[in-house]
Amino acid sequence: MGQRSMSSQFLQKARLGELDTLREIVQVVTPRNASVDLIDLLFNFITINGVPVLERSRHDLVSAAVAAARPTLCLRALWKIVNSSDRLKPDVKSALVQRIQDAGGDLFDWTRFCLQTGMLCISEDMLTQRPPSRLEQYLLQADLLTQLLQLDSGCFNALTSSCEFVQLFVELWTAKSEPQHGNHSSITYRMAFVGPSTICPILELASTVLSEEGSRDLLFSRFDSVKSCEAFCQAAVDRIRDDRENNTVPGWIQYFLALVAILTNLVRRSHLFRSQLTHLSYLTELCVATSRAMDVTPETKGTARDLCSGMMGIFALAMDRGSRQRLHRNWEHLHNGQFLQILFRAAAALEPEDRQVREHIISTVDSIGRATSSPKLFGGSTFGSPWPSLEAFKRYPTLLNAWKRLLFLQDRAREACRRLETRPSVFACDYQHCYRSVLKGHEMPKQCAGCSSVVYCSQKCQEHDWKDFHRNECLHANDLHSRLAHSKTIYDHDTRASHIALLEVIVSGMRSRDSAPSDHILTIDLDAAGDGSPEKVLVESLSDIRETCARHLPAYLQPRVVSLFEEYHGRNFPPNWRLIKGVFSPFTDNHKTIQLILLLKPVEDGHMGVYCIAQYQ
């Protein structure tokens, strides 16, 4: 029957639903001999009975198998037609597209039914293994769906707006594979194919579903709680771990990059998926998989470049600036996966011609360096294991310098964290004209009961300050305090304390007293890092700073700031006190830089910030 269409007599017989005739159709049908009549016939059997609901008794399963006999045979014929559909005649193709637009739901539901029950909906001559493995069926099914998506734009739209299609995709994505050779009990194998020349068809399908607005919305609407997307996310993470066993195979890196792109899409588009994936420590898993790939992948040209691209993708995922806590946790996950060590190794293996990737790495390393200006977020974790010699970068001076800068900044951030932990238990009196410091434990400091934001060495100082300033501040300060407690993204006390500690470390490292005359103050701008230097240090005129304070600080703080500046200008403070300004980059999405005006007093081994006013602009 090969090239010619099937005779009308033959189709007439098939219309009666004779199983043998339908079986014969499965055997002889090709994209070439398919006709409009045949397409109609196949779809009639696929749509005539509803798809049985699974999860019932065994008896039901038997009757379901009977009900599925004809639709299953028709599916086999149909998927054969879809395979290499580029050879379809135009009228047959448009009939196929039309029926999929009208009744695609049944087609996908039956296919899902077959995958779940183990009934074959793919013709045996398309499967190479005897008996066909689940893995082979799932991969081929995903491939057929991808071919269907490419059939025609109308078909593409019908699929990506179909709930049943998305359900079928979820089945393909979440299904587990038979255990692979050996017993790797800790890993659940997913239907995933890593081969030298093709991307896993299930990954390819996932990329399409996630990149189209319609199907993505349908997918997300199926999951309405963190719990409900657990299985989907677990399947994604299992795919990363799965790779860990497979990543000696050529082609693994392309698979890995596709997976990173899919995860990026999930994390960026849905906070539920982001939470669930984070809960599963996907960033750590990605780092560990990369690290293993580097251990086993033979050095071939381009491998290091691809691995570096993957690492950049992972880093971009981690730099979630939406909230301080998330950023901190992501960073810990990267650290647990030894992100920096892996990046270092991958960068060292780059070829001279990989100039662009190298520049990308330099900018990443610089942004990690900038992030250490919030020591509480990034500086606390140690990047423990010994670094390979920086000699590896000798060939690339700009990369070498970036890495040296990072190591320097990390040391400094660590020092700031250490200071926070071992702070001498000294506090300074908050009354501006009092120069006393109090050693905790010796005298009880007097804290303002109204706002808890100021402390004094004595009741006398407290009374003076109340009269001069604090009576106008207390209510506002109390207000701010309760707002801080309830906000997740606002600049919190801990982060501010770590900023102060970092400024202390920087100032302690400066030799002479600030070179600024009394009408200027030293500004340490950590937001302007770059051009090879970790920060920008300049002097700014006091009147300029007063002006910006007048614009950005709340009115109740103005009298105190003005008085602080006047005391400084009039040289009324002891000569070893310093007034500085620190500028920090925003670490949340509000895009406002943080500016701190800090008064520093000398203590045992350096300086200590006693008076700090924060403003955003």
Cβ closest to Zn ion, residue 334 vs residue 448? 448
Binding mask 256-285 for Zn ion (x = CB under 5 A): ------------------------------
Determine if 466 is a binding residue for Zn ion (CB under 5 A): no
The least distance separating Zn ion from the CB of residue 447, rounded to whole angstroms, comes to: 9
Binders in 39-98 for Zn ion, by CB under 5 A? none
- Where does this chain touch Zn ion (CB under 5 A) — which range of 107-115, 269-277, 437-445, 473-481? 473-481
**Tokens matching residue 288:** 């560990």
Q: Please, what's the b/e burial string for 477-502 (b: 16 or more CB within 10 A of its CB; e: otherwise)?
A: beebeeeeeeeeeebeeebbbbbbbb
Encoding tokens for residue 360?
A: 């990308």
Q: Which region, judged by CB under 5 A, interacts with Zn ion, from 134-142, 146-154, 323-331, 446-454? A: 446-454
Q: Which of 313, 445 has the CB closer to Zn ion?
A: 445
Quote the least distance from Cβ 602 to Zn ion, whole Å: 17
Structure tokens at 557: 């703080």
User: Side chain identity at 367, as an amino acid letter?
Assistant: S
Closest alpha carbon to 568 in 557, 555, 577, 581: 577
Instruction: Give the shortest CB-429-to-Zn ion separation in angstroms.
Output: 3
CB of 437 to Zn ion, least distance (A): 9
DSSP state of 106: H
Counting residues that bind Zn ion (by CB under 5 A) gives 10
- Is 448 among the residues that bind Zn ion (CB under 5 A)? yes
CB of 454 to Zn ion, least distance (A): 6
**What does the block give as tokens for 390?**
């920086």
Q: What share of the chain is helix, strand, coil (3-state, %, to 5)?
A: 60, 10, 30
The only residue of 250, 450, 586, 602 in contact with Zn ion, by rule CB under 5 A: 450
Q: How far is the CB of 451 from Zn ion (least distance, A)?
A: 3
CA dist 444 and 441 (Å) reads 7
Residue with Cβ nearer Zn ion (195 or 450) = 450
Q: How far is the CB of 372 from Zn ion (least distance, A)?
A: 34
How many Å apart are CA 414 and CA 416, to the nearest integer?
5
Distance of CA 188 to the CA centre of its chain: 23
Task: Write out 158-205 in H/E/C secondary structure.
Answer: HHHCCHHHHHHHHHHHHCECCCCCCCCCCCCCECCCCCCCCCCHHHHH
Distance between CA atoms of residues 602 and 193, nearest Å: 64
Instruction: Rank residues 80 and 446 by Cβ distance to Zn ion and give the closer one.
Output: 446
Which of the stretches 135-143, 350-358, 474-482, 585-593 binds Zn ion when contact is defined by CB under 5 A?
474-482
* Smallest gap from residue 607 Cβ to Zn ion (A): 19
Residues 6+ apart with CB under 8 A from 428: 436, 437, 438, 601, 608, 610, 611
Cβ closest to Zn ion, residue 222 vs residue 464:
464
Q: Looking at beta carbons only, is 66 or 444 nearer to Zn ion?
A: 444
Q: Is 377 helix (H, G, I), strand (E, B) or coil?
A: helix
Q: What are 614's strand-pairing partners?
A: 596
Q: Which is nearer to Zn ion, 188 or 447 (CB)?
A: 447
Q: How far is the CB of 433 from Zn ion (least distance, A)?
A: 8
Of 125-133, 388-396, 449-457, 563-571, which segment contacts Zn ion by CB under 5 A?
Answer: 449-457
Instruction: Give the nearest distance from C-beta 516 to Zn ion in angstroms.
Output: 27
Tokens standing for residue 564: 């602080």
Could you tell me which stretch among 90-98, 313-321, 344-352, 472-480 binds Zn ion (CB under 5 A)?
Answer: 472-480
Cα–Cα distance for residue pair 548/617, rounded to 1 Å:
9
Q: Among residues 450 and 586, whose Cβ is nearest to Zn ion?
A: 450
Verify binding: residue 451, Zn ion, rule CB under 5 A: yes
Give me the 402-441 binding string for Zn ion, x by CB under 5 A, dash otherwise. Answer: ---------------------------x-x--x-x-----
Residue 66 to residues 59, 62, 73, 238: CA-CA distances in angstroms? 11, 7, 12, 36
Q: How far is the CB of 457 from Zn ion (least distance, A)?
A: 4
Strands (DSSP E) along 309-435, which ranges?
Answer: 426-428
Q: Round to whole Å and give the CA distance between 408 and 423.
A: 22
When binding is defined by CB under 5 A, the residue of 14, 25, 151, 474 that contacts Zn ion is 474
Would you tell me which residues interact with Zn ion (CB under 5 A)?
429, 431, 434, 436, 448, 450-451, 457, 461, 474
